[in-house]
Structure 1
């Protein structure tokens, strides 16, 4: 089968690799019809992880089930399914508590919890930027989609259930967003935009989105958020001005450890500290941007060790609370699917490019450099049939 393979820093290629296949009775084999390039893929693409060359990438996947193992009871051949990026067993202590991002079984590495498709340190599972994908524990991990998921125009919405729509929603859950709240979102990449979109769906009275890329800020404004351009002045001051000097009720971080200031200097704790100063006394913050235990490629000696100079004194003084971590996709994907199916949510508004699998290297290059207009890249391994 054809697949997108990591060759080394800033180099991916489309190669012939061994076909994915059923390996255990509880597996399903999915013909991938739509898969995305995720912002977190870029951490690996940039060489900021210890991913080994040869890994098939891709953790935002959907497609058609073409084969199931003898132990699969619920998922059927012919079903259109979306796969959470979390690979989880569904039966361990963490999965039983809904903590599927921290499955105790799926990742065989000592001392690790949680697994994902095609991702560094997240288990041995090949990714879905490929023609075929093996799905372990298929009855648990496959979200069977409504009949309209066969329509390619609808797949742009449903594929977002694999990661970024639930992750954006998770940011608002961690931040405890409620109707009537004001919300500050740092980062207008796909996850930040969908965090803002989720806050709007939840009834926030004002949502402010901080970024400096005009195309992304335009999308924020398009969905009803207030764009905050941090290249034109302090985002903290702009948010305080929007909130009568009090700060936002809630804050969402959707940038992560590779945050840059407007001059291009990398500052790993920039968005965390800006949120402390942007959110009111007693407010809450949700962090879904990627922070990792070690980052040898960082220019910051602290970040090399996975540490950050956090403004904890002000955080404590303001009595704020913070929730962090990867999204447990299964907690949200069914209810968000229902919003999409009933046209209450259309997360595909952020899709800028649909490419064939062979065009993936072009998609990675342009998405990585934040080329104007490249806000979300969708790949169709089957050519968009």
Structure 2
């Protein structure tokens, strides 16, 4: 099969690799019809993790079931399914609590919790930027989609990660109807957090970024664009909240946050949120932070530590929640919102590419080139039997 293979920092290729196959009775084999390039992939693409050369990228996947293991009971050949980026078992103590991002069965390191497709330090599982994908514990991990999803794949593929992750951020931040919400980052996850805050009837949603194309997408759904290139985002948020600060804050950037001058600060958005959110406000963090980053320009963060404004955070009585989204806690209800026309997450999609153009997609998306806001690839076309 063809697959997108990591060759080293800022280098991927599409090459022939051994076909994915059924390995255990509980497996499902999926022919991938849509797979996204995620901002999280860029950390690995840039060589800022220990993702191994020769591995296959891709954790935002959907496609058609083409084979099932003998123990698969619910999923059927021919089903169109979306796959949570979390690979979970469904029966460990964490999964039983709905914490599927922290499954205790699927990681290959007993000191870790959680696994994912094609992701550094999250198990040995191949990614889905390929023609075929093996899905462990298929009955549990496959979300069977409605028939209309064949024609709306750019909506439904977002259920694999970024829509649930954006929703998760608003859950961590405890967004309620009538709240003012400040979101740092207008990448795909930040835009999904803005969509989620709107769906929860937030009174005012402000999105901080400096890329005009991304801010324009935020404005399309009624969010207030905050361009930090034009002035302090803290001051701008205060102006929109009568000097009080936002009720809730969402961090959707992560450890490779840059200031308007292009300098990297892993603590930038975290500390900006402490200043941007009101006394007793709440903050959700879904931007990726890793235990250590030897490539960081920040001496502290090379050891996975940040200079956090904890004194002000404590003095303001704020609270913070963070971590990866438990996709299965949200994907079915968000699927219903798409099906009923309440949510259309595909508004962020800028490019649909064949798999062979993965290197171009990675290069443009990593460069934040104008207009490259979200890339969806179709390794097998988007319909049964299509190429």
| TM-score normalised per structure 1 | 0.99
**Structure 2: distance between partners of 1:150 and 1:349:** 17
**Structure 2: distance between partners of 1:225 and 1:344:** 17
Q: In the alignment, what sits opposite 2:354?
A: 356
After superposing on structure 2, the runs of 4+ consecutive aligned residues of structure 1 that deviate more than 6 Å are none
Q: Helix, strand or coil for the counterpart of 2:282?
A: strand
**Structure 2: distance between partners of 1:149 and 1:25:** 27
User: 1:331-370 counterparts in 2 under 5 A?
Assistant: 331-370=329-368
Q: In the alignment, what sits opposite 1:158?
A: 156
Q: In the alignment, what sits opposite 2:32?
A: 32
CA contact (8 A) 1:29 1:132 kept: yes
Q: Which runs of 5+ in 1 are unaligned?
A: none
CA contact (8 A) 1:357 1:383 kept: no
1:290 to 283, 288, 296: 288
Q: Which runs of 5+ in 2 are unaligned?
A: none
Q: Helix, strand or coil for the counterpart of 1:40?
A: helix
Q: In the alignment, what sits opposite 2:64?
A: 64
How far is 1:383 from its partner? 3.3
User: 1:180-259 counterparts in 2 under 5 A?
Assistant: 180-259=178-257
How far is 1:48 from its partner? 0.2
Q: In the alignment, what sits opposite 2:100?
A: 100
**Structure 1: distance between partners of 2:381 and 2:295:** 36
Q: In the alignment, what sits opposite 1:129?
A: 129
**Structure 2: distance between partners of 1:99 and 1:381:** 31
User: 1:264-275 counterparts in 2 under 5 A?
Assistant: 264-275=262-273
Q: Helix, strand or coil for the counterpart of 2:122?
A: coil
Equivalenced residue count is: 383
**Structure 1: distance between partners of 2:136 and 2:265:** 38
CA contact (8 A) 1:82 1:143 kept: yes
How far is 1:301 from its partner? 1.1
How far is 1:369 from its partner? 0.6
How far is 1:110 from its partner? 3.0
CA contact (8 A) 1:286 1:324 kept: yes
**Structure 1: distance between partners of 2:343 and 2:254:** 26
Report Cα offsets for 1:310-356 as digits up to 9, x if no partner. 00000000000000000000000000000001111000000000000
How far is 1:108 from its partner? 1.4
How far is 1:109 from its partner? 1.0
How far is 1:185 from its partner? 0.1
Q: In the alignment, what sits opposite 1:120?
A: 120
Report Cα offsets for 1:220-261 as digits up to 9, x if no partner. 100100000000000000000000000000000000000000
Report Cα offsets for 1:77-100 as digits up to 9, x if no partner. 010000000000110000001110
2:258 to 248, 257, 260: 260
Q: Helix, strand or coil for the counterpart of 2:275?
A: helix
**Structure 2: distance between partners of 1:40 and 1:296:** 17
**Structure 1: distance between partners of 2:352 and 2:144:** 23
How far is 1:149 from its partner? 1.4
**Structure 2: distance between partners of 1:344 and 1:197:** 11
Report Cα offsets for 1:165-199 as digits up to 9, x if no partner. 00000000000000000000000000000000100
Q: In the alignment, what sits opposite 1:316?
A: 314
Report Cα offsets for 1:257-306 as digits up to 9, x if no partner. 00000000000000000000000000000000000001111111111111
Q: In the alignment, what sits opposite 2:10?
A: 10
Q: Helix, strand or coil for the counterpart of 2:300?
A: helix
Q: Helix, strand or coil for the counterpart of 1:41?
A: helix
Q: In the alignment, what sits opposite 2:274?
A: 276
**Structure 2: distance between partners of 1:382 and 1:137:** 23
| TM-score normalised per structure 2 | 0.98
**Structure 1: distance between partners of 2:355 and 2:381:** 7
